[in-house]
């Protein structure tokens, strides 16, 4: 059993190295899922190793700053550097006592959050990250010792991700997946086909399937609509405008603009003619003043609007 434990700890150490890389391919992620679920001892070992790696005690035990060195991808090859010295040198047991992490318990946190139309919400996650949710938004969150994952089921959310050396942070927006280690970005799931991703700090990796992948630095963004892709420039500031009550449009179709406005508007807007939804709008509008906003929008395309009692109507 002792040899089995040593072997599992070595495997866990190798997975620590692989899973710490900024961008993971789908085959590696699938292989990790198979390994972690094969044996409860794999979960226990990975949780202990994760806590050790992120503890300050690691630096003292190694006598150098803790960092992941270039471990081999070959399972039969010994990884170089800090982790190999930990596993082969028998330092695991002493670091467990040093870190006092109690890693034998598997801690997986699952939660769901939602907002109604007309409201926003700030959610603090267990890892220290925060999610600011726009109106009519729903997310599900899973925080595990080896991963942090959010599903954006609908709506828009701004993610300010706490940086960790080990666990990545991924968001599934349905048709597009965003992966990071620590950064700030906004995802708008406008409809079944359209996703808008804007990066305010750090670097994100976007995977839209079928080999379509991008890396977006701060100040840039991407609009995905089916097979169509549009790059977004000039993403400025520390957070998206909607968090301060502003809606920023850059050649945005009228239909998208109305959908985004209606997430926070108590008095929704409707288009009298669906064809109006294709008109493009550029500008910065204050969402808490819908009448002035409608005046500005309709002036751009020589349209009219009126109050229909329980909603506003935009027409030609």
CATH architecture of 117-232: Sandwich (2.60)
| Three-state DSSP string of the chain | CHHHHHHHHHHHHHHHHHHCCCCCCHHHHHHHHHHHHHCHHHHHHHHHHHHHHHCCHHHHHHCCCCCCCCCCCCCCCCCCCHHHHHHHCCHHHHHHHHHCCCCCCCCCEEEEEECCCCCCEEEECCCCCEEEECCCCEEEEEEECCEEEEEEEEEEEEEECCCCCCCCEEEECCCCEEEECCCEEEEEECCCCEEEEEEEECEEEEECCCCCEEEEECCCEEEEECCEEEEECCCCCCCCHHHHCEEEEEEEEHHHHHHHHHHHCCCCEEECCHHHHHCEEEEEEECCCHHHHHHHHHHHCCCEEEECCCCEEEEC
What is the structure's pLDDT at 1? Answer: 45
What is the structure's pLDDT at 33? Answer: 82
What is the structure's pLDDT at 105? Answer: 38
**Domain assignments of the chain as residue spans, ordered by start:** 2-99, 117-232, 245-315
Which residues of the chain, if any, have pLDDT below 50? 1-3, 56-106
CB atoms within 10 A of CB 66: 18
| pTM of this structure | 0.67
CATH architecture of 245-315: 3-Layer(bab) Sandwich (3.55)
Task: Residue 119: name the closest of 101, 103, 100, 138 by CA.
Answer: 138
Say if 117-232 and 245-315 have the same CATH topology: no
What is the structure's pLDDT at 13? Answer: 78
What is the structure's pLDDT at 64? Answer: 44
What is the structure's pLDDT at 94? Answer: 37
What is the structure's pLDDT at 69? Answer: 39
């Amino acid at each position: 059993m002792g040899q089995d434990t040593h072997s599992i700890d070595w495997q866990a150490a190798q997975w620590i190295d692989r899973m710490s890389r900024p961008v993971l391919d789908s085959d590696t992620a699938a292989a990790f899922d198979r390994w972690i679920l094969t044996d409860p001892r794999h979960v226990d070992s990975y949780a202990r190793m994760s806590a050790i790696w992120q503890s300050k005690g690691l630096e003292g035990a190694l006598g150098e700053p803790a960092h992941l060195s270039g471990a081999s991808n070959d399972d039969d090859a010994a990884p170089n550097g800090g982790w190999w010295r930990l596993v082969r040198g028998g330092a695991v047991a002493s670091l467990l006592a040093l870190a006092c992490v109690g890693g034998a318990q598997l801690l997986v946190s699952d939660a769901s959050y939602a907002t109604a139309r007309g409201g926003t919400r700030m959610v603090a996650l267990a890892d220290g990250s925060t999610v600011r949710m726009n109106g009519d938004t729903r997310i599900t969150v899973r925080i595990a010792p080896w991963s942090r994952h959010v599903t954006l089921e609908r709506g828009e959310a701004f993610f300010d991700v706490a940086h960790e050396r080990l666990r990545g942070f991924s968001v599934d927006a349905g048709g597009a997946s965003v992966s990071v280690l620590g950064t700030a970005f906004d995802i708008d799931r406008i409809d079944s086909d359209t996703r808008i991703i804007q990066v305010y700090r750090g670097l994100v990796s976007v995977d839209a399937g079928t080999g379509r992948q991008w890396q977006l630095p701060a100040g840039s963004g991407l609009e995905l609509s089916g097979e169509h892709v549009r790059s977004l420039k000039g993403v400025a500031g520390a957070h998206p405008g909607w968090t301060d009550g502003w809606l920023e449009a850059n050649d945005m179709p009228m239909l998208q603009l109305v959908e985004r406005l209606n997430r926070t508007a108590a008095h929704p807007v409707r288009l009298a003619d669906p064809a109006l939804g294709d008109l493009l709008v550029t500008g910065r509008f204050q969402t808490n003043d819908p009448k002035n906003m409608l005046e500005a929008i309709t002036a751009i395309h020589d349209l009219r609007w009126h109050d229909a009692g329980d909603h506003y109507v935009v027409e030609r």
